[in-house]
């Protein structure tokens, strides 16, 4: 969809704390996030014209298929509202966000609720790893870890061999994100760690240590999108300026797919990488953040490790990346991750992030990818938000 149509704004954003929620259902998590987003938007459920609900793993982990959103939102006051279920691996809710924005832009609905929710913790951890492996086209044996760690480890080894990236630079990404997560009350891990501690943590797949990898998480996030006339009068206006959504081309590497997606989003928004004030990127592992920063244009190809080590992506740096703590600290409940990124950008652009606030932030970019087809990610999504008033 092109850039024409009604301007789209974020009216409200809400999310749960991410972590282990063994005693809470998918529906309970979903409705907490939805209630928070609606309250922030100043809207009642009756104002919502469409719900776009994202979940990726409930069919395999909670035995809930086909009507996941309808079941999770039962009793929320949204019964009867048209609802579309979206499943697109780790990019499920960022994909849902783009679908929702197209609906508002096209004039099909004045207010759309977007939801992303996931529960990955399971008494049988092998079932969780098998569910994660199902987001690839490669048959997997019984797993003792996420097979995506093998994928990212190979990417890290290739990057190190081609560009001289070091393990210390990978560790700098993780230590920086833990510092940021320390400031986020909704983050799964809020303890700070040093580069040395990251390097000394148990090896998962060479060269990735445990602290370089995102955790298993439960959680939910929600956003209300609307047209300008329905925005709360006192709220700063945060507009959806650009979007890109792309499937991988099988041959890879994923860097090219993410880069092409970013170019599309930048073109729609009419910006360049130099205009971006902060970003939330998909640091499923430390190397993923390094390559995402290159793909988004914050550093030349091959220089992402040096960028991380320089401090320019930390709070107070040139372009803070993952001020929320990212997947490594905030957590990674698969289908909620994309919306969590967009919640963080919304709060940052509204000046609501307290100790982790990026001063004067005007333009924020979210990069979210997921799945694996051949040697490439299955899907990449890049979204540009801008504070316009």
pLDDT tens-place string over residues 172-205: 999 999 999 999 999 999 999 999 999 999 999 9
Is residue 184 a part of any domain in this protein?
yes
Does 160 lie in the same domain as 74? no
Maximum CA extent, the chain:
56
Instruction: Lowest mean pLDDT of 101-110, 205-214, 250-259, name the range.
Output: 250-259
How many DSSP H helices and E strands does the chain contain?
13, 11
Is residue 130 a part of any domain in this protein?
no
**332 vs 375, which has greater pLDDT?**
332
Does 356 lie in the same domain as 225? no
What sections of 45-190 are H helices per DSSP?
58-61, 68-72, 92-105, 125-133, 148-163, 167-181
Does 155 lie in the same domain as 115? no
Contact 92, 100 (CB under 8 A): no
Asked if pLDDT for residue 337 goes beyond 90, the answer is yes
What are the C-alpha distances in Å from 324 to residues 178, 209, 228, 352, 367? 9, 21, 27, 12, 14
Please, what sign has the CA dihedral across residues 287, 375, 88, 22?
Answer: negative
Task: For the beta carbon of residue 360, count every other beta carbon within 10 angstroms.
Answer: 8
Is 90 assigned a catalytic role? yes
- Continuous segment of H or E residues that includes residue 327: helix 326-330
Does 164 lie in the same domain as 225? no
Does 198 lie in the same domain as 106? no
The model's confidence at residue 143, banded by pLDDT at 50, 70 and 90, is: low
Strand order in the sheet with 83-86: 83-86, 50-54, 111-119, 218-226, 9-15, 238-247, 379-387, 363-370, 278-280
Q: How many structural domains comprise the chain?
A: 2
Contact 168, 199 (CB under 8 A): yes
Does 163 lie in the same domain as 104? no
Is residue 174 a part of any domain in this protein?
yes
What is the structure's pLDDT at 324?
98
Asked if pLDDT for residue 44 goes beyond 60, the answer is yes
Please write the tens of the pLDDT for every residue from 272-308.
999 999 999 999 999 999 999 999 999 999 999 999 9
Is 21 assigned a catalytic role? no
Please write the tens of the pLDDT for every residue from 222-274.
999 999 988 988 878 999 999 999 999 877 777 899 999 999 999 999 999 99
The model's confidence at residue 389, banded by pLDDT at 50, 70 and 90, is: confident
Does 15 lie in the same domain as 153? no
What is the structure's pLDDT at 10?
98
Does 286 lie in the same domain as 150? yes
Query: Distance between CA atoms of 110 and 327, rounded to whole angstroms?
Result: 32
Does 165 lie in the same domain as 62? no
What is the structure's pLDDT at 117?
98
- Residue range 334-345: average pLDDT? 98
Does 253 lie in the same domain as 353? yes
Q: Residue 4: which residues within 8 A CB-CB, separation 6 or more?
A: none
Catalytic residue among 90, 213, 293, 353: 90
Does 103 lie in the same domain as 79? yes
Short-list 312, 310, 280, CA closest to 94: 280
What is the structure's pLDDT at 232?
80
Does 248 lie in the same domain as 154? yes
The model's confidence at residue 159, banded by pLDDT at 50, 70 and 90, is: very high
What is the structure's pLDDT at 138?
64
The model's confidence at residue 2, banded by pLDDT at 50, 70 and 90, is: low
Domain containing residue 274: 145-213+240-387
Given the structure tokens 């609307």, which residue do they identify? 226
- Residue range 365-369: average pLDDT? 98
**DSSP-assigned beta bridge partners for residue 213:** 285
Is residue 137 a part of any domain in this protein?
no
Catalytic residue among 122, 159, 282, 332: 332
Percent of all residues in the chain with a pLDDT value above 90, rounded to a whole number = 86
CATH number of the domain that residue 97 is part of: 3.40.47.10
**DSSP-assigned beta bridge partners for residue 246:** 380
Is residue 139 a part of any domain in this protein?
no
The model's confidence at residue 58, banded by pLDDT at 50, 70 and 90, is: very high
Is residue 133 a part of any domain in this protein?
no
What sections of 164-226 are H helices per DSSP?
167-181, 195-200
- Residue range 373-378: average pLDDT? 88
Is residue 131 a part of any domain in this protein?
no
What is the structure's pLDDT at 255?
87
What is the structure's pLDDT at 145?
56
**2 vs 179, which has greater pLDDT?**
179
Asked if pLDDT for residue 4 goes beyond 80, the answer is no
What does the mean pLDDT of the chain come to?
94
Is residue 140 a part of any domain in this protein?
no
């Amino acid at each position: 969809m092109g850039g024409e149509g009604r301007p789209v704004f974020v009216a409200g954003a809400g999310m749960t704390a991410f972590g282990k929620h063994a005693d809470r259902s998918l529906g309970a998590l979903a409705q907490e996030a939805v209630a928070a987003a609606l309250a922030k938007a100043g809207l009642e459920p009756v104002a919502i014209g469409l719900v776009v609900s994202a979940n990726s793993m409930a069919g395999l982990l909670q035995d809930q298929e086909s009507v996941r959103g309808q079941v999770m939102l039962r009793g929320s006051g949204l019964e009867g509202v048209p609802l579309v279920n979206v499943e697109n691996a780790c990019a499920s809710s960022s994909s849902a966000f783009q679908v929702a924005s197209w609906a508002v832009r096209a004039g099909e609905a004045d207010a759309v609720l977007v939801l992303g929710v996931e529960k990955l913790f399971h008494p049988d951890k092998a079932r969780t790893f098998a569910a994660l492996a199902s987001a690839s086209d490669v048959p997997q044996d019984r797993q003792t870890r996420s097979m995506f760690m093998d994928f990212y480890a190979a990417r890290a080894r290739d990057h190190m061999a081609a560009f001289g990236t070091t393990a210390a630079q990978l560790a700098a990404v993780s230590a920086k994100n833990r510092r940021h997560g320390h400031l986020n009350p909704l983050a799964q891990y809020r303890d700070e760690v040093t580069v040395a501690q990251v390097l000394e943590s148990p090896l998962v797949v060479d060269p990735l240590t445990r602290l370089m990898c995102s955790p298993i998480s439960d959680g939910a996030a929600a956003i209300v999108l609307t047209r300008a006339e329905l925005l709360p009068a006192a709220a700063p206006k945060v507009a959806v300026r650009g979007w890109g959504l792309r499937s991988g081309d099988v041959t890879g590497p994923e860097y090219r797919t993410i880069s092409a997606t970013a170019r599309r989003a930048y073109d729609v928004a009419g910006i360049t990488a130099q205009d971006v004030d902060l970003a939330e990127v998909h640091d499923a592992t430390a190397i993923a953040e390094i390559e995402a920063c290159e793909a988004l244009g914050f550093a030349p190809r091959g220089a992402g490790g040096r960028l991380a080590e320089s401090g320019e992506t930390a709070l107070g740096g040139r372009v803070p990346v993952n001020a929320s703590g990212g997947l490594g600290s905030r957590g990674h409940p698969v289908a909620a991750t994309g919306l969590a990124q967009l919640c963080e950008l919304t709060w940052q652009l509204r000046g609501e992030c307290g100790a982790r606030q990026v001063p004067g932030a005007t333009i924020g970019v979210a990069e979210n990818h997921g799945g694996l087809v051949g040697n490439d990610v299955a899907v990449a999504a890049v979204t540009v938000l801008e504070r316009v008033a």
